A and B are shown apart, each in its own frame.
Chain A
Amino acid sequence: MAKTERKSSTAKLRIKSRLHVFRAERRMTQEELAGQIGVTRATIVAIEGEDYNPSLELAFKLARFFSTQIQEIFSVEEASK
């Protein structure tokens, strides 16, 4: 039991992003969103492509901008090996 718990806590996690959905709902370009949040377009591209996990601060900024909760934009799943 304890072994299973330890395994689940050390398993590699993958952050899934729904940022592109929120952005599309607002009919915003990546450039516009980047300008509003104060990051580069490349960072928005990387977050949407799930190549970059934003910091908590940036995640909160994005959630606040879209007036939602962080977990609505970002979810987590166990990474397949």
Chain B
Amino acid sequence: MKTANLDRIVSRIFLWGLPLVVVVAIGNSFINEDAIANQPPIVQTLHGLAGLVFGLWMAFALYLSARLVFSSDIRTEILPKLVSFKERDEREALLTGNATKKTFLTTLAILILLLCLSVFQVSFYQGPPEKAVNGKNKTITLGLGLGLMDDAVKSQKPVPSDVRKVFINYAGLPFSKTAVILFLIVWQVVSYNYSMRRLLQTGGKPE
């Protein structure tokens, strides 16, 4: 099989499988892995099948990501598939560029927001009466949990263990790394698609 054909098939599997992976990921967050063993065989089989599909999709995704880095041909090839739209002339190439620019900037904005949300920590709690200062025992703490390793950030606990009541305790993003990455992948595809369709509707006029 020629590399171009393989690339075409893999890119289709990646794109068509992406919604399925999102559904499986959402479903998995509600399923207790230990409880699967006590489920009827059909549920166990479906669970195993979902794992197999996800594993296969991962293998295709890895191949595709390596090709996207090293091959300019596949970059040109995959772009029209993302929006089911092929550049037919110079104006449409310009629209593709505009959609890409929009997607890049919105993704950058989201990444900056996610960075801020992941490092910011705030807690508001009521401490024990014996630790009150001038009769005041409510404390608000603000912090920035900046660390490159996940454990370094998690180990920072802004709320002491002996507090009476916690009003607010936010210590970084509650989502898993997988959820954030999956969201960013889906965002890229959806944002590009939406921008391209909007540009085509408006004829490429600036909004």
Q: B89: which of A38, A45, A49, A51 is its contact (CB, 8 Å)?
A: A38
Taken together as a complex, chains A and B put the C-alpha atoms of A45 and B204 apart, in Å, by 11
Taken together as a complex, chains A and B put the C-alpha atoms of A39 and B92 apart, in Å, by 9
A58 closest partner in B (C-beta) = B90
Inside 8 A of A21's CB, which chain B residues have their CB? none
Taken together as a complex, chains A and B put the C-alpha atoms of A68 and B177 apart, in Å, by 61
B88 closest partner in A (C-beta) = A40
Contact mask for chain B residues 193-207; partner A; CB cutoff 8 A; 1 contact, 0 none: 000000010011100
Q: Count of B residues near A, CB < 8 Å?
A: 10
Whole-angstrom distance between the Cβ of B160 and the nearest chain A Cβ: 61
B204 touches A52 (CB 8 A): yes
B92 closest partner in A (C-beta) = A40
Whole-angstrom distance between the Cβ of A69 and the nearest chain B Cβ: 21
Taken together as a complex, chains A and B put the C-alpha atoms of A51 and B91 apart, in Å, by 11
Taken together as a complex, chains A and B put the C-alpha atoms of A45 and B200 apart, in Å, by 12
Whole-angstrom distance between the Cβ of B80 and the nearest chain A Cβ: 14
Q: Count of A residues near B, CB < 8 Å?
A: 14
Majority SS of interface residues in chain A? loop
B89 closest partner in A (C-beta) = A39
Inside 8 A of A54's CB, which chain B residues have their CB? 90-91
Taken together as a complex, chains A and B put the C-alpha atoms of A9 and B160 apart, in Å, by 66
Given contacts A42-B203, A45-B203, A46-B203, contact A55 B90 (CB under 8 A): yes
Inside 8 A of A30's CB, which chain B residues have their CB? none
Inside 8 A of B205's CB, which chain A residues have their CB? 51
Taken together as a complex, chains A and B put the C-alpha atoms of A28 and B94 apart, in Å, by 26
Which A residues are within 8 Å of any B CB, using their own CB?
Answer: 38-40, 42-43, 45-46, 49, 51-52, 54-55, 57-58
**Top 9 closest pairs, chain A to chain B, by CB:** A39-B89, A43-B91, A40-B88, A55-B90, A43-B89, A51-B205, A52-B91, A46-B203, A40-B89
Which B residues are within 8 Å of any A CB, using their own CB?
Answer: 88-92, 94, 200, 203-205
Q: List 26 A-B contacts (CB under 8 A).
A: A38-B89, A39-B88, A39-B89, A39-B90, A40-B88, A40-B89, A40-B91, A42-B91, A42-B200, A42-B203, A43-B91, A43-B92, A45-B203, A46-B203, A46-B204, A49-B203, A51-B205, A52-B91, A52-B94, A52-B203, A52-B204, A54-B90, A54-B91, A55-B90, A58-B89, A58-B90
